[in-house]
Structure 1
Amino acid sequence: MSVITRFVLNHKLFVLAFWLALAVAGAFAAGPAAARLTTSFAMPGPATQADQAIAERYHVGVTDPVVPVVTLPAGQTVTSPGITTELTRVFSAVNRTVPGARVVDYASTSDPAFITKDGRSTFALVTIPRFNPMAGTNAPEEIGRAVRAAAPPGWQVGVTGIQALGDSQPRSGGVDVLAESMLGALGALVVLVYVFASFLAMLPLLIAGISILTTFLTVFGLTQVTGISQIVQFLIGLIGLGVAIDYSLLVVTRWREERAHGRDNRAAVEAAMDSAGRAVVFSGVTVAIGLLALVVLPVPFLRSAGLGGVLIPLISVVVAITLLPVLLDTVGPRLDWPRVRDENTASRGWTAWARITFRRKGLAASIGIVVLALLMIPALSLHVGEPRTSSLAQSGPAHDALTILTAGGVPSGVLTPIVVLTDGGQAGTVAHRLSGLPGVDGAVAPAAGGNRAAGTALVTVLPKEETSMPSGQDTVRAVRAAADGEAAILGVDGSGASTIDFVHGVYGSFPLMLSLIALATFLLLARAFRSLLLAAKAVVLNLASLGAAYGVMVLIWQFGYGSVTVWGIPATGSITMWVPIMVFAFLFGLSMDYEVFILARMREAFDTTRATGAAVVEGIGRTGKLVSSAALILVLSFLAMSTAPQTDLKILATGLGAGILVDATVIRCLLVPALVGLFGKFNWWLPGWAAKILRTKPSLLPAVPTTHPPHPATTSS
């Protein structure tokens, strides 16, 4: 680290010009990079194979349909003379508005499953050509206008469906994501002003901005040679703001501390980089490991997210260890004004807390373990799927149209139909067989509406329960079981089938991914801390923090304890299928930041004092304010993210915010000092054989471990 620091300090003009050029180029590349990101969420599996087979023959894949709902005037019913002809004309208007759309309705099937109990309302299932799920589609509005224009006077028309119930406003992308990140930085600025009480508060934001812009530039280059998922832009914005500020906080705080101890500015920069800079490197690599683990998953969009997401922590590290020391060496002293407080002594409050926690380590550890256990238990009930329709909208035209159907006895499962590709001559037989399966409300094989092509036919199965829910997925499994070995059935498709494949592919590989990450992280931290126990404890506590985040998501969203009160959204019944894996990728690395910051300082203090108590007090006293401030910045960012209109983003933000909050409080400020105190001298042990494998020097056990922390001389707030 000292070699790198001396090099950049001897070439300051070059370093400044280099990062300025990259930042400017990144600002211009952000928009084009976002435009080149892929929108495909497909993954290998039977549903994808069936979807490809359907797309080849029908030129449109399978998505959850748009559902126009027609209600006739009082005195008329769907089965009244002439109404079927009118319905055919009304719903055929869809194809003039959305060419290539596939339509299934009562007129083409004569199936009573498409009629409400009072006979006055009916609906159609309209499958539209593929659209960008990150940007939404205006097809529901277009289809609604077309059906209304074609409907006779007195007919009422509404439009519902998963897409219509969800928020159809375009999601952020490219420059918008960048702007949102900078907007989130305003909250970070308030915290940084409190931490530094000087103009130094601007430095972490500057480092974050340059890191994010440079990452967008790098991603733009990657998109020229491979597909990168749109999810990457959110990783860049959220993780970039978090880790870049974290790393800057650590380095700048240590630089101020070294200056307060009497070092001249250049020596203070070098000392800060030699200690805090090393911690930044280890921390950044750990964050990168968490994201790079996505590459082992058999899902293309997650693999590309891992590949693209790993760039932001690594680039943030490079900016922090090259540009930041140059800025501290040149303008740092002038920015450190007004100097309301200095870093000559540890925080009085955090030092007192560390001393109390160390002395009552058994009680502190017990409290922390109980709190974690209570938060983790609900995670055992986690169900991965998609939110039920009742949580997507509680008012509005789409909700009203769905209410007409459900009040009329039509189950909400019709919004997530199962589509079966069959031999054209056997479609009717297959539909009759599938209609008798448990959980099926009806199965139809219309000859019109774009449901026959190339000697094949599409059978639409209407489940009673939404296929994102456990009972609805049981229906999908029943259909698949019936199709297994049936020569007339060529494939089973639909969002429920895709969800089952996704869960199997991603979470079936989860133990492998978890093992790889845990092993890599353990080896990295064992070398960084020169301790087997500290590294193992860090991995275990990080996983416990993740479990607590999952538990909070289940309590708030799946069970609905708080979702109505805070967001006005009822229980979702499940957690969006990609959210848990993303929460893992985010939290495992981000929360490890705090572990590295604290334990690196404890290790440094122990190497000086050879006393565990002194190491705990010094480590918490010096990093407590840093960790809590960094966590607060991230929590504020995720709080802002939870105001997004999309329910899945609210769930993601809740999990991330809860994970960071639990990690920074229960884990780092309670369990870490308590457990270090309980394990005593064994915290610092690295036997010779392990040191040889890790290519570092061994750490022998101290002869007499200290049981009580010393009383520090002078402290400050």
Structure 2
Amino acid sequence: MFDRVAELTVRWPRAVLVVASVLVAAMSVVGVGAFGKLVGGGFDDPDSQSTQASRVIDEKFGGEANLVLLVSSGTQRVTDPAVEQDGRQLVADLRKEPELGNIVSYWDTQSDSLLARDGRSAMVLAHVKGDESTREEHAHDVIDTYTGRYEGLTVQAGGGTAVGAELSEQVLKDLLLAEIIAVPVTLLLLLIVFGGVVAALLPLAIGTVAVAGTFAELALLGSITDVSVFSINLTTALGLGLGIDYALLMISRFREQLALGTSVADAVRTTVHTAGRTVVFSAGTVAVALTALLVFPQYFLRSFAYAGVGVVVIAAVGTLFVMPALLMLLGHRINSGRLPWPKADRHRRRAPFWGRLAGTVMRRPVLSSVPVLAVLLLAAAPLLGVTFGTPDERVLPEDAASRQVSTALQADFAGDDEAAIQVVADGSVNYAAVDAYAEKLSLLDGVVRVEAATGTYAQGKAQAPGPANEALERPDAQRVTVIGTAPPKSDDAQSLVQTVRDVAAPAGAKEVLVGGGDAELLDTKDSIASRLPLAGGLVAVTTFILLFLFTGSIVQPVRALALNIISLAAAIGAMTWIFQDGHLSSVLGFTAQPMDTSMTVLLFCIAFGLSMDYEVFVTSRIKELHDEGESTKDAVVHGLGHTGKIVSAAACLLAVGFFAFATAKVSFMQMFGLGSGLAILIDAIAVRGVLLPAAMRLLGRSAWYAPGPLRRFHQRFGISENGPASSHATAGVESISMKESARNA
């Protein structure tokens, strides 16, 4: 394959670039439509009990309350005639909105639960209709129309839908700010790394191809399935980052060949066979890690698999075809626009620092690696106390309107109706059974009251029998609402959900479904935890197979997996120390809370994939030198001498894009950006610079071990370095078989 690609780009570079330009233009046109098709939400398991309960409530009861309007009257009580008139007018206008249903207010029910303790505020609950793709849009329309000053009232919007709408809007703002910061900084670093204007601009071409192609993919997928709007963040950060990584590897190898006196055509051929092969294999390892996200039912996580795999594959294909064509046309002009500080012979010499570092580590592997391991394990220690949650209003800044409403509801009202546990009994359940069931629920610890079609209950007794409530009753189903004292998303609130689920179903019920916000959190954690072994197993097994095919050793994949897990544990442990334990909260401006379950899984998969990216960068050069006859020690020293600067530069450039998310106002975006950037730097510097050479020195000849049958399998089916004859002549070496390299280890 690499022979054909090399010859295609050498013989017809202009034709390749014309075709690529047409494809990028077409993808850009299609990709613009992605922004109108991507949706928010997607954190819940569609098959969980809580989601089923929400679905039944939507179908049979008009939907549960997902929008809360906090209505304040200033210094007057909401029961004053003038205030009450304005309040009733507000409710009447809301009932005219086609996007709203199940509107309940204090002025209609006179329920104390909807009245603030000081009597100056009241709640209006409503259900915003629509699915994930339309609900937030409807919520925006209602919020824009009714919040602020309304007659003599002040109206603020909160609740799940308002939080989701404000969250999506804030994420887009954060993304724009991050790009405004990251792009110029990245351009400056590219100039420093490449030492020339022309070479520095080439990675942007690959980044453009990757981002445009992935947006087109997301637009097409968004037409047939739910795709999260948050996938945009990964597309831009990873597209630009991988474009830079892959282009840096290709350009460095091309310049290296030109510095040796190779012709432009042969330099391109060698670059495709060596760096191009590494890029393809590296992309495969990153894609495998991201594919594991498809095992989770939440489309929030699945969307990152769509975006991540797409951007990796498109970046690799673009690098394999577009970059060699550009290099062929530019030739020695790749060094045009040279800046004054690079030395003229920089491409003739191996990076001295990384070579010296590898040599020092391999002379004293234990003494060099133990302090690094100790620091990484110390950073990982906070994982011993990690807890997990799902996004709520606390991920927004304190001045966000929906968060202020939530804070007011918890502080000023006796129980948050919008955060109540929703119980649906499917079947023909008579009033006597509902009455007995509601009484049992009201006796549970932590329950303020229970509302059912038969009345309101507290402490095992009916407090307000009243007439049947149509919002809680249907001929074939009954709905019961349980309001508790525990703060939403707390451990006590989740325990209450499980306790309610353990209560025996009322007589006549075919099935009882328990939902609500805390039930969704509980189900999401269980859903992700139950699939983590499968996802982790898939990543481990596929990575092992790919690295075996690449190296011909069964020891190298195990070594790579072990080192990657250590570096990831350190990065995620540091994020736990910051975002769960609250350190640096005053600096970054977030509220400490449990680690976001979905974002932590995403961080692991992204960071694991990128760490394998650098693993392949380094190992490919070590294996190349080892196959050419160098001992394991010399291959590691010289391999890191060749690739150390490339990997460290690529890591810094990629980390900049992720670190830019630290400016976000949404805390889980801060966590994802800082965690990804930190994981990349830990891997590129501590693991590749110290732990890898130490492990290779301690393993010695066994580093390349494989049982006889597997060695023969690799010789037949493995990925080997077989470049064109001219390339090997230029380098002054010939490839040798895996068997010969094993003997020379």
Q: TM-score, normalised by structure 1?
A: 0.87
CA shift in 2, pair 1:355/1:544, >3 Å: same
**Aligned pair partner of 2:656 in 614, 621, 636:** 636
Q: Deviations over 1:213-267 (max 9, x none)?
A: 1233344444555554444433322221122211111111111111112212111
Residue 511 (structure 1) shift: 0.6
Q: What is aligned with 2:348?
A: 344
- Identify the residue that residue 729 of structure 2 maps to in structure 1: none
Residues in 2 aligned to 1:63 and 1:8: alpha-carbon distance in whole angstroms: 60
Deviation of residue 515 (structure 1)? 0.7
* C-alpha distance in 1 between matches for 2:400 and 2:286: 42
1:128 alignment partner in structure 2: 128
Return the offset for 1:585.
2.6
Partner SS, residue 513 of structure 2: strand
State the AA in 2 paired with 1:11: W
Deviations 1:620-672 (A, max 9, x none): 22222211111112221112223233233222222212221222222222211
- Output the amino acid matched with 2:446: G
Aligned to 2:13: 12
| 8 A contact 2:206–2:247 mirrored in 1 | yes
Q: CA deviation at 1:544?
A: 2.3
Verify the 8 A CA contact 1:181 1:241 in the aligned structure 2: no
Equivalent of 1:527, from 549, 561, 581? 549
Percent identical pairs in the alignment equals 29
The residue number in structure 2 matching 1:54 is: 57
Relative to structure 1, is the Cα distance of residues 456 and 108 closer, same or farther in structure 2, using a 3 angstrom cutoff? farther
Displacement of 1:479 in angstroms is 2.0
Partner of 2:384: 380
Alignment of 1:450-529 (within 5 A): 450-452=471-473, 456-482=477-503, 487-488=508-509, 490-529=512-551
Would you say the 8 A contact 2:396–2:665 is kept in 1? no
Which has the higher mean CA deviation after the structures are superposed, 272-281 or 468-477? Answer: 468-477
1:310 counterpart SS class: helix
| Cα offset, 1:403, TM superposition | 4.8
Query: Any idea what the Cα deviations from partners look like across 1:116-161, whole Å, max 9, x if unmatched?
Result: 444544434333224658995574784596487777x5x6554444
SS of match in other structure, 2:503: helix
Match of 1:194 in 2: 192
CA distance in structure 1 between the aligned counterparts of 2:171 and 2:86, rounded to whole angstroms: 43
Distance 1:64 1:583, change over 3 A: farther
Q: CA deviation at 1:405?
A: 4.2
* One-letter identity of the residue aligned with 1:355: G
- Other-structure match for 1:101: 101
Q: Take 2:130 and 2:386, find their aligned partners in 1: how far apart are those partners?
A: 30
* Alignment gaps of 5+ in structure 1: 706-717
Whether 2:407 is the aligned partner of 1:435: answer no
Describe the shift of the 1:92–1:491 C-alpha distance in structure 2 as closer, same or farther (beyond 3 A). farther
Q: CA RMSD of the aligned region, Å?
A: 3.5
Superposed CA deviations along residues 160-195 of structure 1, whole A, max 9, x for unmatched, are 445556782754899997997687333222222111
The residue type equivalent to 2:443 in the other structure is G
2:671 to 629, 651, 659: 651
User: Kindly tell me: are residues 156 and 250 of structure 1, through their superposed partners in 2, closer, same or farther at Cα, counting changes over 3 Å?
Assistant: closer
CA contact (8 A) 1:71 1:157 kept: no
What is the SS of the residue equivalent to 1:331?
A: helix
2:360 pairs with one of 345, 356, 359: 356
What are the within-5 Å matches in structure 2 for residues 14-53 of structure 1?
A: 14-37=15-38, 39=40, 41=42, 42=44, 43-53=46-56
| Residue 604 to residue 631, structure 1, CA distance change in 2 (3 Å) | same
Q: 1:70 aligns with which of 52, 64, 72?
A: 72
Partner of 1:604: 624
Residues 284 and 32 from structure 1, CA distance in 2 versus in 1: closer, same or farther, beyond 3 angstroms?
Answer: same
Alpha-carbon contact 2:204-2:244 (below 8 Å) kept: yes
CA 1:134–1:467 in structure 2 vs 1: closer, same or farther (change >3 Å)?
farther
Residue equivalent to 2:459: none
Is residue 664–residue 670 contact of structure 2 (8 Å, CA) maintained in 1? yes
Give, in whole Å, the separation in 1 of the partners of 2:419 and 2:49. Answer: 17
Amino acid at match of 1:480: R
The one-character-per-residue Cα deviations of 1:25-46 (angstroms, maximum 9, x if unpaired) are 1221111133234556252111
Q: What SS is found at the alignment partner of 1:645?
A: coil
**In structure 2, what is the Cα distance between the partners aligned to 1:620 and 1:352?**
9
Amino acid at match of 1:316: A
More displaced stretch, 441-450 vs 508-517: 441-450
* Structure 2: distance between partners of 1:519 and 1:323: 32
Please give the alpha-carbon distance, in whole angstroms, between the structure 2 residues aligned to 1:479 and 1:105: 27
- Structure 2 letter corresponding to 1:281: V
Distance 1:618 1:245 in 2: 23
Q: Is this contact kept in 2: 1:376–1:551, CA < 8 A? A: yes
Q: Relative to 1, partners in 2 of residues 1:354 and 1:479: Cα closer, same or farther, differing over 3 Å?
A: same
- 1:394 deviates by 2.4
Report the more deviating stretch, 348-357 or 382-391: 382-391
**CA distance in structure 2 between the aligned counterparts of 1:486 and 1:232, rounded to whole angstroms:** 46
Q: Which amino acid aligns with 2:695?
A: L
Match of 1:664 among 684, 707, 729: 684
Structure 2: gaps spanning 5 or more residues: 454-467, 719-736
SS in 1 for 2:100: coil
Q: Which deviates more from structure 2 when the two are superposed, residues 393-402 or residues 380-389?
A: 393-402
Does the Cα contact within 8 Å between 1:531 and 1:699 map onto a contact in 2?
no
Change (3 A) 1:618 1:172: farther
What is the number of residues matched between the two proteins? 697
